[in-house]
Amino acid sequence: MSELYKFSDVGKKFSGPGENLEIFKNINLIVEEGEALAIVGASGSGKSTLLHLMGALDTPSTGVVAFDGQDMALMSPDQKAAFRNKTLGFVFQFHHLLPEFSALENVVMPAVIGGARRAAALPEARA
Ligand SMILES: Nc1ncnc2c1ncn2[C@@H]1O[C@H](COP(=O)(O)OP(=O)(O)OP(=O)(O)O)[C@@H](O)[C@H]1O
Ligand SMILES: [Mg+2]
């Protein structure tokens, strides 16, 4: 199995009006291809914060999050956008659907934005 994600001494802090809020630190984690993984913890313990790092939605305060051997913090905004469009799938806690569009259109849209032809994207979305 190949190594998909590698977290090396990863920490995340949010700066507040007073002192910084340390969410987690020293996370060392390897996720391999084909692995199913559940991240569990109390509300506010940092699960979404961790997933945001994996999804190229945020960067760590310390340490390195690597995907397929590449430090995700070094990806350009375009590389991050392409990664989120083509490589990673998210099912959000709050699903962020666009209410003006049908369910099918919501599924088709990222494929079309990512350069797929409508004629190909539509049957794929339906499936
Ligand atoms: N952008 C931010 N700025 C400041 N604090 C934040 C920010 N995002 C998250 N936090 C804080 O970080 C902590 C972890 O939040 P997070 O949303 O990762 O928790 P969670 O484990 O996903 O919780 P839940 O189970 O409720 O979804 C919380 O105390 C939250 O208030
Ligand atoms: Mg959460």
Which atom from ligand 1 is nearest to the alpha carbon of 50?
Answer: 18
Q: Is 21 in the pocket of ligand 1 (CB under 6 A)?
A: yes
Question: Of the candidates 91, 84, 28, which has an alpha carbon nearest to the alpha carbon of residue 60?
Answer: 28
Looking at the domain 3-75, which fold is it?
Answer: Rossmann fold (3.40.50)
* In the chain, where the domains are located: 3-75
Q: What is the pLDDT along the chain (127 residues), one digit of tens a residue?
A: 689 999 999 999 999 888 889 999 999 999 999 999 999 999 999 999 999 999 999 999 999 999 999 999 999 999 999 999 999 988 777 778 899 999 999 999 989 998 999 889 999 999 9
Residue 66 Cα to ligand 2 middle (Å): 22
Q: Is 115 in the pocket of ligand 1 (CB under 6 A)?
A: no
Nearest 5°: the CA angle 16, 8, 44 is 40
For the packed helices 103-113 and 118-126, what is the interaxial angle rounded to 10 degrees?
140
Residue 26 Cα to ligand 2 middle (Å): 20
The pLDDT value given to residue 1: 66
